[in-house]
Chains A and B, each alone.
Chain A
Amino acid sequence: MTKRPNQAPAPPMTRPSFLRGIVGIWYRHALALTRVWKVATTWFVIEPACVLLAMGLGVGRLIGTLPTHGEYASFVTPGMIVGMAMYHAIFECSWGAFQRIQSHSVETLLTTPIGIVQLAAGEILWGATRSALSTIAVGGLALGLGWLDPSAFPGVLLVSMLVGVEFGAIGLCFAATAQTTSTLSLIFTIVATPLFFFSGSFFPMEILPRALQIAAWIAPLSPGVHLARGFATHDLHTTHLAAAVYLVLLGAASFPVAVWLLRRKLLR
């Protein structure tokens, strides 16, 4: 600490910018990740690689080519990538944030000049960053295997990040409302897992019964899968535009809810 004369405190610090809070939260997460990068590599690479290889090489070998969607491995790849992106964002923003709320380290962040909006935005930005890292890892593998076209990669990456924002915000809602880890785990059993399997990642939605099809199209992961597949196959229509709008809307609508719930939880 710099010495200053008694009774003459330094002039008030200038207030940090709005962005500073968001970037600061993001920086905290980036530091935390680099401290455990060896373990983190397994989350990003080994687990998704297993799923991708099992589906592409295993199931893909059995199925070969789908009547309307081409080679199965290429069909399943964008769905897997987006599904993994969802898992990473949910994990970070529900489980991770919940733990840090319980341990009071989130309260500490709020003793800096940041507000709840910046806290939420920083958390979600980090969730989306993890989604992007996952996509770089899984997508990289798929590129190597020839299941994803390099020119499709930027589009798929962008979709992953939007999915990360959306599920980051949804994850925060759960983190802010769960009372215990067992209620928190509902986000995996009632949200993530059903979405992962019924959002058109593994099979075309057309083969579902009519009623289920509608539900599957509305499901919040579906627009991401549809859009990523559009990029992967270089076959984009108005349905993809609709999916993009829906995806952005889901993220934009979840954010204020997450902020409201976090405020209720943390500023009592």
Chain B
Amino acid sequence: MAEIRVEKLVKRFGTVRAIDGLSFEVASGETFGLLGPNGAGKTTTMRVLSGLSPVDSGEVSIAGIDALRDPRAVRCVVGVVTQQDGLDDDLNVRQNLEVFGFLAGLSLRVARRHTREVLDFFGLASRSEDAIDELSGGMKRRLAIARALMIQPRAVILDEPTTGLDPHSRNRVWEELAQLKARGVTILMSTHYMDEAATLCDRIAILDRGRILALDPPLELIEKHTRGDVQELRVTTASHSSVRAELERAGIRWREVGAVFRLNREADPAAVRSIAGTRSEVRRANLEDVFLNLTGRELRDE
């Protein structure tokens, strides 16, 4: 059964269509990723689903609740982690969680118990009396996720859970999300990291300008929208302009990404190898390539 069902959602900011006819379903227990560059509409979508943003049209049902009519009922059973941590600097770690639990309807006694449990789960028990500004960025992010679990949600909505985190903290978040999934919690998350989406998500919707361009499991996306391998030319001693000239002469189309020329699908390997001062490499296609092929732009482009 679909835990989250979004149908023909449209949301405008002035003349900008931040969400432009979005439809998708997330099955119970599934981890579903919204992958897209900045401005794709990920945050707007998640805010709408959380009842924090009104829409122009469309339907949203979450846990069997009409989310547009009764957003507060949704927030009783769904944990929401917004893009900003939104921690309360005037309270300590434990109080942040207890106040949240109390507002969510827990008695103070139960809120205290859940606080201990989620702090244990996130390995933050020893920090419970600390002030928020004593925490590292990674801990703050994880505390924000812990907060959403205070209500023992059946689904969580996470907006860019690891953006800005160091690799170690990212890995911890990934492990914790994997554990949540193992418990049967439905996860809807957004990210602009393709490796994160590929690692965590059962299915990924590639989002751009408020629309879904493709929706499949990660490997299928790569199979369907790339040729499997990508040929790249790494510049070693040549100048970029001479490489460009050579490629043009050989009739090969390319795209420059830093020190690398990503070559068009049909590039002839022999012609490529003959370009002096470069090294040709072939690697597996990834979700970035899917995005590039679908939009002609990089996932990291603004």
Say if the beta carbon of B104 comes within 8 Å of chain A: yes
Nearest Cβ on chain A to B39's Cβ, whole angstroms: 16
Q: Does A20 contact B (CB under 8 A)?
A: yes
Name which of A15, A31, A106, A108 has the most chain B CB atoms within 10 A of its CB: A108
Query: Is A180 engaged at the interface, CB distance under 8 Å to the other chain?
Result: no
Q: Could you tell me if A113 and B72 are in contact, using CB atoms closer than 8 angstroms?
A: yes
Which residues 74-123 of B sit at the A interface, judged by CB distance below 8 A? 75-77, 79-82, 84-92, 95, 99-100, 102-105, 114, 117-118, 121
User: For the side of the interface on A, what is the size category?
Assistant: 35 or more
Write out, one digit per residue, whether chain A residues 9-49 have a CB within 8 A of any chain B CB (1) or not (0): 11011111100110011011001100110000000000000
The verdict on B164 contacting chain A, using a C-beta distance below 8 Å, is no
B151: interface (CB < 8 Å): yes
Instruction: Determine the distance from Cα of A162 to Cα of B183 in the docked complex, in whole angstroms.
Output: 50
- List the B side residues contacting A5 at CB < 8 Å: 184
A-B contact count (CB 8 A): 128
Q: Is the interface of A mostly helix, strand, loop or mixed?
A: loop
Bound Cα distance from A12 to B78, whole angstroms? 9
* Alpha-carbon distance between A111 and B149 when the two chains are bound, in angstroms: 12
Distance of A14 Cα from B91 Cα, bound (Å): 27
Rounded to whole angstroms, the CA-CA distance of A113 and B29 in the bound complex is 22
Known contacts A6-B184, A28-B99: does B91 contact A107 (CB below 8 Å)?
A: no
B104 and A16 contact, CB distance less than 8 A: yes
Contact residues in A for B72 (Cβ distance below 8 Å): 15, 113-115
CA distance A19 to B299 in the complex (A): 46
Contact partner, A267, options B54, B76, B92, B154, Cβ 8 Å: B54
**Nearest chain B CB to A123 CB, angstrom units:** 13
Asked if residues B91 and A32 are in contact (CB atoms below 8 Å), the reply is: yes
Contacting A at CB under 8 A, from B136-157, are 144, 147-149, 151-152, 154
In this complex, the interface size class of chain B, counting residues with CB under 8 Å from chain A, is 35 or more
* Residue pair A15, B73 in contact (C-beta under 8 Å): yes
Task: Tell me whether B82 and A112 are in contact (CB under 8 A).
Answer: no
A1 touches B95 (CB 8 A): no
- The chain A residue with its CB closest to the CB of B90 is A32
Give the residue of A13, A36, A266 whose beta carbon is less than 8 angstroms from that of B105: A13
Point out the residue from B91, B92, B103, B154 that lies within 8 Å of A114, measured CB to CB: B103
Q: How far is the CA of A100 from the CA of B182 in the complex (A)?
A: 35
CA distance A6 to B154 in the complex (A): 11
Contact (Cβ within 8 A) A108 B87 = yes
**How many whole Å from A225's CB to the nearest CB in chain B?**
32
Say whether A104 faces chain B, with CB atoms less than 8 Å apart. yes
Q: State how many angstroms separate the Cβ of A85 from the closest Cβ of chain B.
A: 22
Neighbouring A residues of B53 by C-beta, 8 Å: 267-268
10 interchain residue pairs of minimum CB distance: A16-B105, A9-B154, A108-B86, A32-B90, A24-B103, A104-B86, A112-B103, A111-B80, A104-B84, A6-B184
Can you list 20 A-B pairs with a CB-CB distance of less than 8 A?
Answer: A2-B152, A3-B183, A6-B184, A12-B73, A12-B154, A17-B105, A24-B103, A25-B103, A35-B91, A36-B90, A103-B86, A104-B84, A108-B144, A111-B50, A113-B103, A113-B105, A115-B72, A266-B52, A267-B54, A268-B53
Q: Kindly list 14 other residue pairs between chains A and B, CB separation below 8 angstroms, not including A7-B28, A105-B89.
A: A1-B121, A4-B184, A9-B185, A10-B154, A16-B103, A20-B102, A24-B102, A31-B91, A103-B86, A107-B52, A111-B86, A112-B75, A113-B76, A113-B105
